[in-house]
């Protein structure tokens, strides 16, 4: 039997960030992860660090978390690149939304520059002619999420945390049972991504499948993370959807996303969905038809029932906390989630309003 201040079940980007933040506070941390660290959906995502503003909770959490990413940029292997986000408006109706978005970001303290159609083409010459304009958020960037997760756990282990390469079969009040028969004692944090309901059935998830395509190396073809200004519309609907979202990797490759589908949990690639995604991409970037794709893969985003992550104490249980259900924003929001969770654990006042994320809302 071993006793720990905090037992973290799952070491994707969320569990890893929590291990880092808790160990930095001097807590005795045990990480339970069969491995590899960061090998879940964290290895399948795009790694775009982005402020999203569709709802006040989303703006508060992403903005707070991106501030904390500043101190993680230099982690070995993170492949951090401050490429900026360029939101692209397809037509004048979308162009009319730029000022509102810019104002919402400015209210939160995020600097963003509106760009007209000519400047848009200057910034990204491969973009199709006739697009209405855009909004440049210059301080945003991209990382390689599984490498960040590995490094965060390594850093926690250097501070004394232990990594148990096992699967948790049960979480109970102040304890975790592992599949090798061991039993760990301490406060429990469940950060098991899509596996959350298998450990805490009272916290359901909706898994949301996504496809990504990566090309061979074409350095300089695209310079910013490009995202359709209407991206949030596709995020918030229930229908299967695709949205223009293209990322320049530091390797010179282009990462092309993305699709969203509920109710599809098989990992297989759907070529009709890939074709739909690429047709949409070519409308914005016609020239990239000539590039060679190297690989296509899928991942399942862990979405909570209302789209807001579960961060906090689990109601009706003793000594069990949760950090999961971050859907398509888990990388952006990982350090923020970790800081807010650890502040609550230590009885400190968190930096933002945590009521939207309180898991008690689901039971209610
Ligand atoms: C196509 C796609 C694109 C995306 N793009 C972005 C993006 O650009 N920006 C962004 O911010 N987010 C993005 N995301 C979302 C992001 O990847 C996720 O929100 C994030 O990785 C979730 O991390 P996690 O730690 O909760 O889950 P995971 O990474 O899945 O980690 C959970 C871990 O728990 C472990 N585990 C499970 N069950 C147990 C158990 N019983 N015992 C012990 N361990 C267990 C697993 O092995 C796993 O390692 C994208 C996702 C997809 C699919």
The Å distance, Cα 326 to ligand 1 centre, comes to 8
Q: Are 320 and 314 in contact (CB under 8 A)?
A: yes
Give the single-character DSSP code of 44: T
**CA–CA dist 233, 151 (Å, integer):** 34
Nearest to 328 by CA among 202, 223, 234: 234
261: enclosing H helix or E strand = strand 253-262
Partners of 324 in the β-ladder? 310
**Tell me, what's the pLDDT at 213?**
98
**Tell me, what's the pLDDT at 192?**
98
**CA–CA dist 217, 303 (Å, integer):** 32
Tokens 């039997």 belong to residue: 1
Pairing state between β 2-9 and 29-32: parallel
**Tell me, what's the pLDDT at 1?**
42
Q: Mean pLDDT in each 10-residue stretch from start to end of the chain (364 residues)?
A: 88 98 98 97 98 97 97 94 97 95 97 97 97 98 98 98 98 97 98 98 97 98 96 79 96 96 94 97 96 98 97 96 98 98 98 98 80
246 Cβ below 6 A of ligand 1:
no
The Å distance, Cα 44 to ligand 1 centre, comes to 8
257 Cβ below 6 A of ligand 1:
yes
Partners of 81 in the β-ladder? 142
9 Cβ below 6 A of ligand 1:
yes
**Tell me, what's the pLDDT at 50?**
98
Token pair recorded at residue 261: 């589908």
**Tell me, what's the pLDDT at 236?**
75
**Tell me, what's the pLDDT at 302?**
98
Query: pTM for this structure?
Result: 0.97
């Amino acid at each position: 039997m071993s006793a720990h201040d905090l037992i973290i079940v799952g070491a994707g980007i969320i569990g890893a960030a929590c291990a880092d933040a808790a160990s930095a506070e001097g807590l005795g941390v045990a990480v339970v992860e069969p491995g590899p660290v960061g090998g879940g959906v964290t290895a399948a995502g795009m790694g775009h660090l982005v402020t999203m503003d569709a709802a006040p909770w989303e703006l508060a959490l992403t903005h707070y978390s991106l501030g904390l990413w500043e101190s993680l940029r230099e982690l070995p292997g993170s492949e951090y690149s401050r490429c900026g986000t360029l939101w692209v408006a397809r037509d004048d109706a979308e162009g009319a939304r730029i000022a509102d978005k810019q104002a919402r970001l400015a209210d939160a303290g995020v600097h963003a520059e509106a760009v007209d159609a000519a400047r848009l083409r200057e910034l990204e010459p491969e973009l199709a002619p006739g697009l209405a304009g855009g909004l440049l958020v210059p301080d945003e960037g991209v990382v390689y999420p599984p490498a960040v997760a590995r490094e965060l756990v390594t850093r926690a282990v250097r501070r004394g945390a232990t990594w148990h390469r096992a699967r948790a079969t049960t979480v109970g009040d102040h304890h975790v049972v592992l599949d090798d028969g061991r039993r760990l004692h301490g406060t429990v944090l469940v950060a098991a991504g899509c596996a959350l309901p298998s450990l805490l059935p009272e916290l359901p998830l909706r898994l949301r499948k996504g496809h990504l395509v990566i090309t061979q190396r074409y350095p300089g073809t695209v310079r910013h993370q490009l995202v359709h200004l209407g991206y949030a519309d596709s995020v918030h609907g229930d229908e299967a959807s695709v949205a223009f979202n293209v990322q320049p990797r530091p390797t010179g490759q282009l990462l092309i996303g993305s699709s969203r589908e509920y109710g599809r949990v098989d990992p297989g690639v759907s070529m009709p969905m890939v074709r739909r995604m690429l047709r949409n991409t070519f409308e914005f970037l016609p020239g990239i038809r000539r590039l060679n794709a190297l690989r296509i893969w899928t991942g399942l985003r862990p979405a909570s029932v209302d789209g807001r992550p579960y961060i906090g104490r689990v109601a009706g249980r003793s000594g069990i906390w949760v950090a999961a259900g971050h859907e398509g924003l888990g990388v952006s929001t990982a350090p923020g989630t970790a800081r807010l969770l650890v502040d609550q654990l230590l009885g400190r006042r968190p930096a933002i309003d945590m009521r939207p994320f309180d898991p008690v809302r689901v039971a209610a």
